[in-house]
Structure 1
Amino acid sequence: MEKHIRKVAIIGTGLVGSSAAYSIVNQGICDELLMVDINKERAIGESLDLSHCIDFTSSRTTVHAATYKDLGDVDVVIITAGPPPKPGQTRLDTLGIGAKIMEDMIPKIMASGFNGIFLIASNPVDIITYHVWKLSGLPRTRVIGTGTSLDSSRLKTILSNMLNVDPRSIYGYTMGEHGDSQFAVWSHITVGGKPFLQILEERKEELGHIDLDQIVEDVKKVGFEILKRKGTTYYGIGNALAFILKSIFNDDHKIIALSCVLDGEYGESDICTGVPAIITREGIKDIVELRLTEEEQEKFRKSNAVLRDYMASIGYGQKIATVV
């Protein structure tokens, strides 16, 4: 009987990569997990440590260190390599170093014969995802960034605490840049199917103090609050990577806010930005085009203008005047 081995590689075995690996192993998402890092000893150490989890999990995942040459038959390559922002920096400020890392890495991966899906968490994730797409030559549907998936989760967590409901009963997204210019799509956020804005209207006496703009600011800044206290974030994004990977292998057709290369959707082209998309075994099946309000459409345009300005710094398009 022929058996397909679900094979995944993680490039970058720092805190994000190792956290993603830990989630993947514990959930039994793949059969074989390859750990790749410029620090080969670190990759070996993480592989050994992770392999000692298997006796305590429900399924077996083989974990071992690897090199770029070993990636030819991998289904999904997860990229987490890159520098975290330093105090006072934004994610966008890490672009120069991150872009150079991809320029060295992606040709080596493609030379192995790799023809699967790239799943990218390296920041600034929207521009790095676009850069990987250009460097790899793969279809846009198979180069995917984590986008605003984590931001959307953070938004749901904040709302769940305010409303005292499970965050998994809240549906909605932030869109645009995974960064300071993102925005919440309030017109499409629901709680158990009921519009959140309607809930606010009906419960003014109880919820009238809620400031929507402040909630968005809290979503934007919480990553830096974590960074300030413990150096960087890794559990949330690690689990987000595992969640997206599981949806790919299960062919879930789940809708997740991801960094996607747009080609006319939302009136935008030749840019990678956070939008809800249907994820399948083949990558992005479709981008969900929400009917945004005029205000939301303008916020989306401004967020993409910010991304384009930084894209120009590594040779894509032209720098434009950004109004935020």
Structure 2
Amino acid sequence: MPPAGPTARSDFRHGLPSFASHNPDLGRRTAPRRGTAHDGGVTASRTGKVSIVGVGSVGTAIAYACLIRGSAGALALYDTNTQKVRAEVLDLNHGSQFVPHCPVSGSDDIGVTAGSAIVIVTAGAKQDPGQSRLELAATNVAMAQALTPQLLEQSPSAVVIFVTNPVDIVTYAAAQSVDAPPGHIFGSGTVLDSSRFRYLIAQRADLAVGNVHGFIVGEHGDSEISLWSSVSIGGVPADEFRIDGSQVFGEQVRSEISADVVNAAYEIIAGKGATNLAIGLSTARIIEAVLGDQHRVLPVSTVQRGAYQISDVSLSLPTVVSAAGAGQVLEIPLSVSELLGLQASAATLNENWAALRAT
């Protein structure tokens, strides 16, 4: 999606009619139905309209993941690129025979998002050669501040979830731009990072990922923190897990895994240009927690209100996600080094926000 700073704001207000055939019920919550998506052997109800803003590689991956998992009752795609959004809508609908029923509409008119239960925002500028991260953040923050009020005009009760990077800064800016109910605006945070963490642990343990529990917290970025002290592998703490009597997760292995989690995105981007498939699946999982009112604990990015003595900054902590959005933050016991690292991550984000305001 083209950069959407203040100069592009009118693109979010005006456009052409939706490309999908007219469906008068598409903008309303549909009747509850049983979905076919499974997570840990549990099937949950999926209902409600989900809109995705931005149909680049991430937005389309989220839409595709929602379709194959049966995550939503209806999907709406919004992008200022007329030809691209039409093509993606057609491509997704052409596979409708093979997935749970889920109408897909799309438009370059923001009205296509009206009546959404959830709005996912992936739109934003990509980093140009020679452009600093701070400059990129300024562009995407301006987009979020302009776009969020317009999305809530279309869907006043929607839960708005940001995936656009830098997600913590963008989420904070969006939350400050509107007077939304608590928890109705949050970011995808470190849900994907935590999945990478669990995968790498499972590889070393030679077990399925579902047997591993653990979180990455803090910034979705270089200052994020691996919570090794609370990692559980089949119910066994990481520091006690052994194979043939030998400790698996010593200090060096822990450091390697933590570094691999931080560097994972860089490696993928170097090889294929973008990360999209795993973030598509992880975002679909967040959507299911909201639409299914699952009260699922996920490390999403929210504006903190005192957990671990951290306030007025958006970062990821284990959070109860339900139909009300992002709710209670769970304060998992931390080691001293983990707590100091988390607070340092918060300080880094605060410094970045202060630098943005000074530009």
When normalised by structure 2's length, the TM-score is 0.82
Assess, with a 3 A threshold, how the Cα gap between structure 1 residues 196 and 79 changes in structure 2: closer, same or farther. Answer: same
Instruction: Identify which range, 219-228 or 287-296, moves more after superposition.
Output: 287-296
**Which of the numbers 132, 148, 155 marks the counterpart of 1:106?**
148
CA drift of 1:207 comes to: 5.5
> Aligned partners of 1:51, 1:249: CA distance in 2, in Å?
22
Identity among equivalent positions (%) equals 28
CA drift of 1:110 comes to: 2.6
CA drift of 1:206 comes to: 5.8
CA drift of 1:53 comes to: 1.3
> Aligned partners of 2:202, 2:133: CA distance in 1, in Å?
27
Q: Which residue in the other structure is 2:350 paired with?
A: 308
> Aligned partners of 2:64, 2:71: CA distance in 1, in Å?
11
Q: Which residue in the other structure is 2:62 paired with?
A: 20
Q: Which amino acid aligns with 1:211?
A: V
Assess, with a 3 A threshold, how the Cα gap between structure 1 residues 206 and 191 changes in structure 2: closer, same or farther. Answer: closer
**Which of the numbers 168, 180, 183 marks the counterpart of 2:222?**
180
Which 5+ residue runs of structure 2 have no aligned equivalent? 1-29, 33-46
Q: Which residue in the other structure is 2:290 paired with?
A: 248
> Aligned partners of 1:158, 1:282: CA distance in 2, in Å?
32
Cα deviation, 1:143-181, whole Å, max 9, x if unaligned, reads 121111111111111111111011111001011000000
**Which of the numbers 86, 99, 103 marks the counterpart of 1:62?**
103
Q: Which residue in the other structure is 2:27 paired with?
A: none
8 Å contact from structure 2 (residues 134, 356) kept in 1: no
Assess, with a 3 A threshold, how the Cα gap between structure 1 residues 307 and 203 changes in structure 2: closer, same or farther. Answer: farther
Q: How does 1:129-168 map to 2 (within 5 A)?
A: 129-168=171-210
Q: Which amino acid aligns with 2:124?
A: G
Report SS of the residue matched to 1:64: strand
8 Å contact from structure 1 (residues 263, 269) kept in 2: yes
- 1:193 and 2:247 are equivalent in the alignment: no
Q: Which residue in the other structure is 1:219 paired with?
A: 261
Which 5+ residue runs of structure 1 have no aligned equivalent? 320-324
When normalised by structure 1's length, the TM-score is 0.91
CA drift of 1:209 comes to: 7.9
Assess, with a 3 A threshold, how the Cα gap between structure 1 residues 11 and 174 changes in structure 2: closer, same or farther. Answer: same
- 1:7 and 2:35 are equivalent in the alignment: no
Q: Which amino acid aligns with 1:36?
A: Y
How many correspondences in the alignment? 315
Q: Which amino acid aligns with 2:173?
A: H
> Aligned partners of 1:16, 1:139: CA distance in 2, in Å?
27
CA drift of 1:91 comes to: 6.1
> Aligned partners of 1:167, 1:135: CA distance in 2, in Å?
38
8 Å contact from structure 2 (residues 148, 178) kept in 1: yes
- 1:275 and 2:317 are equivalent in the alignment: yes
Q: Which residue in the other structure is 2:85 paired with?
A: 43
> Aligned partners of 1:8, 1:206: CA distance in 2, in Å?
42
Q: Which residue in the other structure is 1:322 paired with?
A: none
Q: CA RMSD in A?
A: 2.3
Q: Which residue in the other structure is 1:228 paired with?
A: 270
CA drift of 1:140 comes to: 3.2
Cα deviation, 1:21-70, whole Å, max 9, x if unaligned, reads 0010112221211100111221111111111111111x211101132234
Assess, with a 3 A threshold, how the Cα gap between structure 1 residues 304 and 201 changes in structure 2: closer, same or farther. Answer: farther
